[in-house]
A and B are shown apart, each in its own frame.
Chain A
Amino acid sequence: MAARIQLPAQARRGEVIEIRLLVQHPMETGYRYDEGGQPIARNVIRTLSCRYAGEEVFRAEMSQGIAANPYLQFTTVALESGDIEFSWVDDEGVAGSERQRLVVTG
């Protein structure tokens, strides 16, 4: 599973920064059938969480109503230099994670 994170390379302490995330995942609805006519089991990322500076700062609980290759955008307050960490798990129990460093000045 590929994932992309976008955040500013650096920010001032107290600044509200925008975080964007894109995860490669089919978000299989469970409503489709394969070529043999067998239903394809639902497989979506149920929970995706973002931790930064020792705390969960954002969490998404999703259903098949979220588009394939989920895109999420939210904000957080820059507190200290460190990793912004994402982790998620899908219905099949496959987990993914990605992190990116934020440098905080001032």
Chain B
Amino acid sequence: MAAGIGVVGVVAQERVLPLTELRSGIEFAGPEVRELQQDEFANPGMLWVERGARLWSEVPRTAKAQSCAGCHGDAATSMRDVAARYPRIDSTSGELLNLEARINQCRSERQGQTPWSFESQELLSISSLVSHHGKINGLNVVIDGAARPHFEAGRRLYYQRVGQMNLACAQCHEANWSRTLLAERISQGHPNAYPAYRMEWQSLGSLERRLRACYSGIRAELYPFGAIEHRQLALFLAWRAQGLPMEAPGVRR
């Protein structure tokens, strides 16, 4: 009991942004963006969810393989409690996987198919379907055990000043959220909307793509898609936003 309280105390101290002050990025968006996200029919991200639902029950060409539905059944029920727990440690390999990597692992190991490439329409469709069905949940990641070193690495990345502008994530999203940068209000930088439809992309994209966009914005070197750094940072971000409801597919400017 005492140990439990102790852990809670340590965790509470670690939080620069208190859980009571968590605000989803949608709260910093304009009325047009908010309206687009809330419209369950016309949210353009729903096109990927729809395509994902079709792919879910599609049997791969290889005769032996099953469709996603063959093992997991109806995604609406089986995937309810999945996306919010990623990134997480894969119990067999001990690797830190994000949702996309987990989907591809299933695809190669269970279905015997070639993994989909990062940001491919297929991978985005399945990941947005799975995330969409987990929408009611608040982000809920495990940072202990094998995840701990990744979490610490993610935290270091978050506070590490990088690039020509010499900025860390924290300078904008922790020290200056809700202030304006040109015509934009700076958000707290939470991952809960992803995969999200960004107007700037005119497409749905993953959290990894969004992180790369941020690094590009501060003129820093980009990590490649699939880099462990993205997953570590995503783990820290998910912990930082612990309990914040998922919005996938979110809409952002």
Contacts and interface: CB of A to CB of B under 8 A. Distances in A.
A69 B36 CA distance: 13
B134 interface: no
Interface residues of B, number: 11
Contacts of A68: 44, 202-203
B54 interface: yes
B253 to A, nearest CB: 13
Contacts, number: 35
B102 interface: no
A20 B202 contact: no
Interface residues of A, number: 14
B202 A69 contact: yes
Nearest to B197: A69
Contacts of A3: 47
Chain B facing A: main interface SS: helix
Nearest to B36: A71
Contact of A2 (B41, B54, B203): B54
Nearest to A67: B202
11 contacts: A2-B50, A2-B51, A2-B54, A4-B41, A4-B47, A20-B42, A22-B41, A68-B203, A69-B202, A69-B203, A71-B44
Interface of B: 41-42, 44, 46-48, 50-51, 54, 202-203
Given A22-B41, A69-B44, A71-B44, A4 B202 contact: no
Given A2-B54, A4-B41, A71-B42, A22 B203 contact: no
Nearest to A6: B41
Contact of B47 (A6, A20, A22, A27): A22
A77 B48 CA distance: 31
Interface in A62-99: 67-69, 71
A10 interface: no
A23 B41 CA distance: 12
A24 B47 contact: yes
Nearest to B49: A2
